[in-house]
Structure 1
C-alpha cells in the first residue's frame, strides 16, 4: 500500500489537485499493479517564498509550479517498474492536470510490512500473515 504526499503550489486549483491525485493513482495501478482501492494521498500546498529549489538541476528547466510527489511503499519493485511508474505519472499529470513534465519531481521511500499499521492499531505484518494462513 503506497502512501503518497503531494506538494503543490498554493495557487493550484482544487480541480487540478484532484486531477494530480487521480493521475498519480492511475499510474500506480497501471505500473506497479496497486489495487484500485489503495488510495492514500495527502496533498499540501506551499507558498512560493517558502520553497527553494534549483530551476535547472540535472538539466531540467522547472517553473514556479513544481509538483513534488513523495511515495512511501513496500519494497520489491524493480527499477524497470519504477521507471515505468515515473513516466506514467509525468504523462498523466501533463495530459490530465496540465502540469509540465519538467515540473514533476518524484522520490520514493521503500520499507517493509513491519513499518506499517493501516488501521485499528494492527501491525500490518499480522494482516499479511493472516491472509497467507487462510
Structure 2
C-alpha cells in the first residue's frame, strides 16, 4: 500500500523516463517489501527552477539538476536491512536502466499505520475485515 511521490526539476526527464522510474520503484517495492503488483499509486511532480532547491554537496554527495526526490509513504514494520537493500536496488536500477546518476537519487521512507490510510469511499479498508460473499 505504498504511496509514492517523485519530484524533479522540469524538463530533466521525459515521459518514457518517468515510466521507467515508475517501473523501477515498483520492482524494488515488490522485491524488498513484498508489495502486491497491483498496489501501485505514484504521482510525479515537475518543478520550475524557482521551486526546486537542494544542497549540491551535503554529506559529500555531488548532486546535479538531475536530482530526483522519491518519497515512499508505507506501513511501518520493515527492517533496516530491507530498507537499505531497497535503497541500493532502486539506485542501481535507475542508474543502469535510465542512466540516472546514483548521486541524484534521494529516497525517503515515511512509516505509517493501518489507520492512516483510506483507499476510497471514506473507509479505512486496512482496519476492516474482508467482507465474504455468501
Fold conserved (TM > 0.5)? yes
Looking at structure 1, the residues matched to 20 and 99 of structure 2 have their Cα atoms a distance apart, in angstroms, of 9
Per the alignment, residue 121 of structure 1 pairs with 122
Give the TM-score taking structure 1 as reference length.
0.91
Distance across 1 between alignment mates of 2:37 and 2:59: 33
Distance apart, 1:118 and its partner CA: 0.8
> Where in structure 1 do 4 or more consecutive aligned residues deviate above 2 Å?
124-127
Partner residue of 2:5?
A: 5
In the TM superposition, what is the alpha-carbon distance from 1:95 to its structure 2 partner? 1.3
Higher fraction of helix:
1
Counterpart contact for 1:7–1:45, Cα < 8 Å: yes
Superposition RMSD on alpha carbons, in Å?
1.3
Q: Distance in 2 between matches of 1:93 and 1:27?
A: 10
Number of residues of Structure 1 aligned to a counterpart in Structure 2: 130
Cα separation, 2, equivalents of 1:89 and 1:25: 9
Counterpart residue number, 2:85: 84
1:114–1:125 contact (8 Å) kept in structure 2: yes
Give the unaligned 5+ runs of structure 1: none
In the other structure, the counterpart of 1:37 is 38
